[in-house]
C-alpha cells in the first residue's frame, strides 16, 4: 500500500517517522480488505461488531489494543505525538474502530476506583474481549439530567437488588456486562445516593428490547431490570458515591481520544469525491467557490480541534485531569462530524438520498429492509453510505451528555456562571 505524505509528516522527528513507518508496516500486513471495508463504510462510532472484535484481537497480539492504558495494565509508553500518529494512521488506513465502552471508558474507572480483585478480573478480559461492556446511564426520564435517574438498587445482605430500566443502551445484545448507575438512597442533592455497579448481563431478571434507529439499524436497546441480584462486590467505588465514578468516566467518554485525524480524512475524501460531481456552473463541484470556501472553513475548525486534542492527550498521558477540555473536545468533534456528514450528503447529490444500507457496514442489523437480489448499489459506495451516516450522526450532539450540557459545564467551571 502506498502512503501519501501530508503536512503533518513534515513536522515529525526521525524517531517519530520511524514509529509511523512501524505502524504503517503493521497495518499493511494485518489490516485485511474486509477489515478496511468495515472501517471505511462504518455508519457511526460503533462499527460492525464482528470486524471490531477481530481487529481488537489483532491489535492485542501486538500490544496495541489499549495504548493509552498505563503500561502496568497493558498500555504503551508512548509520547502524546506517538498516540496521535497511531490514531491518525489507523484512520488513514481505514481500520474499524473498537467499541469504546470497555477499553476507552469503564476501564479507567476500574483502574482508579476498583478493588484489586476487580482490576485483576476485568482489565485483562476487557483486552481480550472476553468481557464486553455496554453502558447503563440514560433512562426514559433521565437523559441529559442524569442525576434524576430512578433505577433502584436496594441492599439485601451481600447483594444489591436492581429494579428499573436503562435506554439507548448501545450493543446491549452483544454485551455480557453492563456498567450502571442506580439509586441506592436519597441525599441532600440528586447526585448523592447514586451507586456505580458492574452487572453480569446473564443475571436472571434482565430483559433487552432492541430499538430501531432513524437509519433503520438495530444497535441501541432498552434494558429492563426486574429484581436483579448483583453482588455488592461488583460495586465500583463506594455505595452512594457513584456520581464521583461517573464524572471521572465521563472525562474519557467525552474526550481522551483523537477525532481530528478521522475528520481530516473525511474532509479530504469529500474534496476528492467532489471532483467527480457536477457543480452549479456545470464544472467540477470541487472547483465551485462556495464549495471550496465551506470546506476550508470546516478544515480550519478541524485544525482547532486537533490542537485541543493534543492538549488533552498530553494531560492524560501525564496523569493529569483534562477538566473542561474534554467538554470542549466533545462539542467540537460531534458538531464537526455532523457538519461533515451534512456536507457529504450534499456532495453525493440525489443518489445520496437513496436508502441503500446494504452498501454499508452498520453497527447492527438493519430491520425491515430487503436488499436487491443482485446486490445492486446506485452510484458509488460513498454515495450510498451518505444518508445512513447522516442519520446516525444526528445523535452525536446528544450522546455522552448533550452539547448544551457541555456548554453549561464549561460556563460554570471556567467562568463561575450558573
pLDDT at 2 (0 to 100)? 52
pLDDT at 223 (0 to 100)? 98
* Whether the Cβ atoms of residue 318 and residue 345 lie closer than 8 Å to each other: no
Q: What is the pTM of this model?
A: 0.84
pLDDT at 298 (0 to 100)? 95
C-alpha span between 54 and 348 (Å, rounded): 31
Domains of the chain from N-terminus onward = 9-106 (1.10.540.10), 133-242 (2.40.110.10), 255-415 (1.20.140.10)
pLDDT at 342 (0 to 100)? 92
C-alpha span between 404 and 335 (Å, rounded): 12
Cβ neighbors of 223 (< 8 A, separation 6 or more) are 134, 136, 165, 166, 167, 169, 172, 178, 206, 207, 208, 209
pLDDT at 69 (0 to 100)? 92
C-alpha span between 144 and 404 (Å, rounded): 9
* Whether the Cβ atoms of residue 212 and residue 218 lie closer than 8 Å to each other: yes
pLDDT tens-place string over residues 189-238: 888 999 999 999 999 999 999 998 877 889 899 999 999 999 999 999 99
C-alpha span between 200 and 179 (Å, rounded): 9
User: What's the distance, Cα to Cα, between the start and end of the chain in Å?
Assistant: 53
pLDDT at 326 (0 to 100)? 80
C-alpha span between 213 and 391 (Å, rounded): 9
Alpha carbon separation from 323 to 196, 249, 409 (Å, rounded)? 21, 12, 10
Neighbouring C-beta atoms of residue 284, cutoff 10 Å: 14
H/E segment holding residue 387? helix 381-393
pLDDT tens-place string over residues 339-348: 999 999 999 9
Residues of the chain predicted below pLDDT 70:
1-10, 144, 253-257, 316-321, 418
C-alpha span between 198 and 7 (Å, rounded): 45
C-alpha span between 309 and 158 (Å, rounded): 43
| Alpha helices, H only, 287-380 | 289-317, 325-348
C-alpha span between 267 and 414 (Å, rounded): 32
Cell 498521558 belongs to: 317
C-alpha span between 333 and 39 (Å, rounded): 18
Alpha carbon separation from 13 to 6, 19, 38, 339 (Å, rounded)? 14, 10, 32, 33
How remote is the C-alpha of 7 from its chain's centroid?
27
* Whether the Cβ atoms of residue 413 and residue 375 lie closer than 8 Å to each other: no
Task: Report residue 378 as a C-alpha cell.
Answer: 446506485
C-alpha span between 319 and 268 (Å, rounded): 34
Burial class (CB in 10 A: 0-12, 13-18, 19+), 365: middle
pLDDT at 319 (0 to 100)? 64
Amino acid at each position: 500500500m502506498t502512503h501519501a505524505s501530508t503536512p503533518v509528516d513534515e513536522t515529525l522527528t526521525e524517531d517519530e517517522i520511524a514509529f509511523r513507518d512501524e505502524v504503517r508496516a503493521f497495518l499493511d500486513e494485518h489490516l485485511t480488505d474486509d477489515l478496511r471495508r468495515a472501517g471505511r463504510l462504518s455508519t457511526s462510532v460503533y462499527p460492525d461488531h464482528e470486524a471490531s472484535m477481530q481487529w481488537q484481537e489483532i491489535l492485542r497480539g501486538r500490544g496495541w489494543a489499549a495504548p493509552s492504558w498505563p503500561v502496568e495494565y497493558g498500555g504503551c509508553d508512548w509520547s502524546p505525538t506517538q498516540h496521535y500518529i497511531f490514531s491518525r494512521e489507523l484512520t488513514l488506513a481505514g481500520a474499524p474502530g473498537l467499541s469504546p465502552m470497555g477499553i476507552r471508558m469503564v476501564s479507567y474507572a476500574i483502574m482508579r476506583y476498583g478493588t484489586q480483585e476487580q482490576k485483576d478480573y476485568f482489565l485483562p478480559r476487557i483486552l481480550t474481549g472476553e468481557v464486553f461492556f455496554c453502558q447503563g446511564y440514560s433512562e426514559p426520564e433521565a437523559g441529559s439530567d442524569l442525576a434524576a435517574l430512578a433505577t433502584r438498587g436496594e441492599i439485601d445482605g451481600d447483594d444489591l437488588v436492581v429494579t428499573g430500566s436503562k435506554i439507548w443502551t448501545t450493543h446491549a445484545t452483544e454485551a455480557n456486562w453492563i456498567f450502571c448507575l442506580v439509586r441506592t438512597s436519597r441525599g441532600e442533592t440528586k447526585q448523592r445516593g447514586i451507586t456505580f455497579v458492574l452487572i453480569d448481563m446473564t443475571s436472571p431478571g434482565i430483559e433487552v428490547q432492541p430499538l430501531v434507529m432513524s437509519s433503520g439499524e438495530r444497535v441501541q436497546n432498552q434494558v429492563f431490570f426486574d429484581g436483579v441480584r448483583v453482588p455488592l462486590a461488583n460495586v465500583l467505588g463506594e455505595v452512594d458515591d457513584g456520581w464521583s465514578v461517573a464524572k471521572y468516566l465521563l472525562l474519557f467518554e467525552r474526550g481522551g481520544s483523537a477525532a481530528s485525524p478521522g475528520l481530516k480524512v473525511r474532509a479530504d475524501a469529500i474534496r476528492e469525491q467532489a471532483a467527480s460531481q457536477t457543480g452549479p456552473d456545470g464544472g467540477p463541484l470541487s472547483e465551485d467557490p462556495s464549495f471550496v470556501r465551506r470546506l476550508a472553513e470546516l478544515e480550519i475548525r478541524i485544525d482547532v480541534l486537533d490542537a485541543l486534542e493534543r492538549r488533552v492527550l498530553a494531560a492524560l498521558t501525564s496523569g493529569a485531569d483534562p477538566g473542561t477540555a474534554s467538554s470542549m473536545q466533545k462539542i467540537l468533534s460531534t458538531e464537526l462530524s455532523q457538519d461533515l456528514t451534512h456536507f457529504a450528503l450534499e456532495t453525493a447529490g440525489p443518489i445520496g438520498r437513496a436508502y441503500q444500507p446494504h452498501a454499508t457496514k452498520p453497527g447492527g442489523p438493519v430491520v425491515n429492509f430487503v436488499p436487491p437480489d443482485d446486490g445492486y448499489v446506485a452510484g458509488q459506495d460513498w454515495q450510498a453510505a451518505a444518508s445512513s451516516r447522516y442519520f446516525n450522526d444526528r445523535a452525536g450532539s446528544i450522546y455522552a451528555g448533550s452539547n448544551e450540557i457541555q456548554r453549561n459545564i464549561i460556563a460554570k467551571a471556567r467562568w463561575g456562571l450558573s
